[in-house]
Amino acid sequence: EIYSLRVDSKVTSRFAHTVITSKVVNRANESREATFEVELPKTAFITNFSMSIDGKVYPGIIKEKASAQKEYDAAVSHGQSAGLVKITGRKLEQFQVSVNIAAGSKVTFELTYEELLKRQLGKFELLIKVQPKQLVKHFQIDVHIFEPQGIRFLETDSTFMTNELSQALTKVQSETKAHILFKPTVDQQRVKPELDETLLNGDFIVRYDVERGATAGDIQIVNGYFVHYFAPVEMPVFPKNVIFVIDRSGSMAGRKIEQTRDALLKILQDLRPEDHFSFITFNSKVVEWKSSLLQATAENVASATGFVQTLSASGGTDISQALLTAVGMLDKAEELPERSVSMIILLTDGQPTSGENNVEVIQESIQKAIKGKYALFCLGFGFDVSYKFLEKMSLSNGGIARRIYENADAALQLQGFYHEVATPILMKIEMQYPENAVEGLTKNNFKLFFEGSEIIVSGKISNELDLLPVEIKAQTHTSDLTLKEEANVKEKEQIFQNQSYIFGDFIERLWAYLTIQQLLEKSVSAQEEDQKALEAEALKLSLQYSFVTPLTSMVVTKPVGHQQTEIANKPTEAG
C-alpha cells in the first residue's frame, strides 16, 4: 500500500529539478514485494535514487556504463532481471524497481531527475506523469517556478481532471514566481464513491512562457556560471524554399499515406505567399511534381492540392536519389528571394532498399551535395526506420530528426513539426563573449532561429570579471543585426541569493546538462576518433555531476536475500 506519494518540482529559470517520493507499507502478515514505478521525460537525466527500508538506506550509485555492466553481468549469472528503465511512449521513459519487504515493514523510494525545459511553439512545458494505480492517503504535486524575467502566462492542463479534482488544485502567482499545488483527498481521487479505483491516471502538465524585452536576451549568473537566453520577438519572417520529399513505397500504403496526405493538405494552406515549394515523391523511382520550385500563390497551392490528393503508395525505397534530386532542384533554382531559407523535409517509414542502400555512403553523398547550404529535416514514420541513420543525416546538415508515431494523430504530429520550422526569423546567429573571460562555452553559433523556440548559451566566467559584455550578430530578412548588452555580474548574482527554494549551483548543473546533451548530439555525426573524444568528455561530466546519460549507468544494490544488483540505463530514441 502506497500511503504517501509526493512530486516536488522546482523550476528555476527553465531548469527543472524533480523529486518523487513514494512511501509504501506492507500491511499483510507475510513478506510482500513493493514496487516503485514512475515515468519521467525522455529529455531528463536521473541524478539520484535511494530506497530506505526500516531506516537503512540503499543508494543508487552512478558509474561508467561499461564497469556497471561488468558488475551486473556477474550478478546476472545468479539469475537476474533486466534493466530498470525503458521507453514507454513519445515523451516518457519508465523507471521501475521492486523490493521484498517484511510484514509490517515500510520502504521509502526517492527518485530525482533534472532537465532543461525547451521552448517549443512559444511555451515551456513541465510534464509530470501521474499513475499511482491505487488510492493514496497523502498525495501531492508541488511545483515552484521562479523566472527572473517574469512569468508572462501560466496554465495547467491534465488528462484526468474532473470538476471535483480541480478543487484540489491551487495556483498562486506573482510577477516572477508561481506555486502550483495539487493535493486531492482520498475521496476526491475515487472514480465513484463506492469504488476503490483512482481517477489519477495520466499527464499533469504545467505550461508557461516568460516576459522578454527587445534586447539582446537575458543573462543570469550564479556562482561564476552564466546562462544566456535569447528569443527575439516581432522580427520579419524569412521567405522559405521548402521541398517535401515523400516516401510512397509499399509500406506507406493505407493509413500512413492517408495521414501524410491530410497533413500536407493542411501544410499547403499554411504556406506564406512569398514562400517557394515543391514535392518529390519516391519509391524505387523518383518523381518530381514540377521541375522547379513554385511560388506559393493561390493558383500553385490549388494545383499542389490536386497533386497531393492523388498520392498513393507501392514499390521500393530509394532515399538517396530522392534527396539528391531535391538538392539539385535547390541548386539550380533561380528567382528565389535573395534572403530566404532553404530546407528539405524528408518523410520516410523505412530503410533504403532501392538504388544506393548503404547508409554511410548515402550520408556522405548527401552531406557533400548540401555543402551546408540547406537544412535537412528527417521525419521517421513508425519503428521500421533506421532512426540512427535519419538522425545522423539531419544533424550533419543543420536540421533535426523526429519520430512520427503511428497513431490516430499522426497527421497532427506532422503538422506540429512543420509549425516548429515554418517561421524562420534569424539566420547565422553568433553569440559572442570575451574570449579571455569565458570558458567551457556551450554551442554559440546557430544556423537558423525559428519563432517560438529559444537559443541558450552557457559557460563559466573568470573570477575577476565585473561586467560580462555580450554581442549577438545575426541576419534578419531585411538587414544584418548586431545587439549588445552588458551584464553586471554582482547584480545578477544578487537575484538568486534571496530565493529560499533554489538549489544553489543550478546554473552550473544547467551548464553541465546542456554541455552533455550537445556533446552527445555532436558525436552522432562525428568521425570515429572525434566521437571517442566527445564521448569521453561527456562521460567525465556525467560522472562529475552524477547524471544517468547514455554513457553512464546507475547501480542499485538491494538488501541481502534479493537479486543483489540492478541497473538503470538511459534508453535513446535510436535504440
Sequence-ordered strand ranges (E) for 88-176: 92-101, 106-116, 124-130, 138-146, 151-158, 169-173
What is the per-residue pLDDT for 206?
A: 98
Domains in the chain, start-ordered, CATH in brackets?
240-422 (3.40.50.410)
For residue 497, the one-letter residue type is: Q
Least confident residue range of 111-120, 148-157, 476-485, 488-497: 488-497
**Inter-axis angle of helices 255-270 and 298-309, nearest 10:** 180
What is the per-residue pLDDT for 379?
A: 96
What's phi and psi for 523, nearest 5 deg? -70, -25
Work out the mean pLDDT of the chain and round it to a whole number. Answer: 92
pLDDT category of residue 78 using cuts at 50, 70 and 90: low
Contact of 454 with 429, CB cutoff 8 Å: no
Residue 266 has pLDDT above 90, yes or no: yes
What is the per-residue pLDDT for 215?
A: 81
Q: Is the dihedral of CA 391, 373, 232, 431 positive or negative?
A: positive
Measured from the Cβ of residue 352, the count of other Cβ atoms closer than 10 Å reads 23
3-class DSSP state of 485: strand
Least confident residue range of 15-24, 139-148, 335-344: 335-344
Contact of 248 with 314, CB cutoff 8 Å: yes
pLDDT category of residue 40 using cuts at 50, 70 and 90: very high
User: Which of 453, 5, 11 has its CA nearest to residue 206?
Assistant: 11
What is the per-residue pLDDT for 563?
A: 60
What is the per-residue pLDDT for 79?
A: 46
Q: Report, as an integer, the average pLDDT of 116-133.
A: 96
User: Which of 373, 471, 465, 355 has its CA nearest to residue 427?
Assistant: 373
Q: What percent of the chain has pLDDT over 90?
A: 81
Distances (CA, A) of 382 to 164, 263, 387: 38, 16, 10
Residue 463 has pLDDT above 80, yes or no: no
Q: Report, as an integer, the average pLDDT of 538-548.
A: 96
Summarize pLDDT for 206-232 with one digit per residue, the tens. 999 999 986 889 999 998 999 999 999
User: Which of 379, 275, 372, 362 has its CA nearest to residue 323?
Assistant: 362
Contact of 465 with 112, CB cutoff 8 Å: no
Summarize pLDDT for 497-519 with one digit per residue, the tens. 766 555 668 999 999 999 999 99
* Predicted TM-score of the model (pTM): 0.94
Any idea what DSSP says for residue 397?
T
Residue 84 has pLDDT above 90, yes or no: no
Any idea what DSSP says for residue 190?
B
User: Which of 113, 235, 223 has its CA nearest to residue 458?
Assistant: 223
Residue 234 has pLDDT above 90, yes or no: no
What is the per-residue pLDDT for 462?
A: 85
Residue 330 has pLDDT above 50, yes or no: yes
Residue 392 has pLDDT above 50, yes or no: yes
Cell for 474?
A: 545575426
Q: Report strand pairing: 276-282 vs 294-295.
A: antiparallel
C-alpha–C-alpha distance, residues 345 and 245, integer Å: 6
C-alpha–C-alpha distance, residues 569 and 571, integer Å: 6
Residue 67 has pLDDT above 90, yes or no: no
What is the per-residue pLDDT for 574?
A: 76
Contact of 365 with 356, CB cutoff 8 Å: yes
Summarize pLDDT for 394-407 with one digit per residue, the tens. 999 999 999 999 99
Measured from the Cβ of residue 207, the count of other Cβ atoms closer than 10 Å reads 16
Cell for 174?
A: 506573482
Q: Is the dihedral of CA 445, 242, 327, 362 positive or negative?
A: positive
Alpha helices in 204-251 (DSSP H): none
Cell for 182?
A: 495539487
What is the per-residue pLDDT for 247?
A: 96
Alpha helices in 179-245 (DSSP H): 186-189
For residue 252, the one-letter residue type is: M
pLDDT category of residue 567 using cuts at 50, 70 and 90: confident
What is the per-residue pLDDT for 80?
A: 46
* Cell 523535409 found at: 345
Least confident residue range of 57-71, 259-273, 298-312, 386-400: 57-71
pLDDT category of residue 461 using cuts at 50, 70 and 90: very high
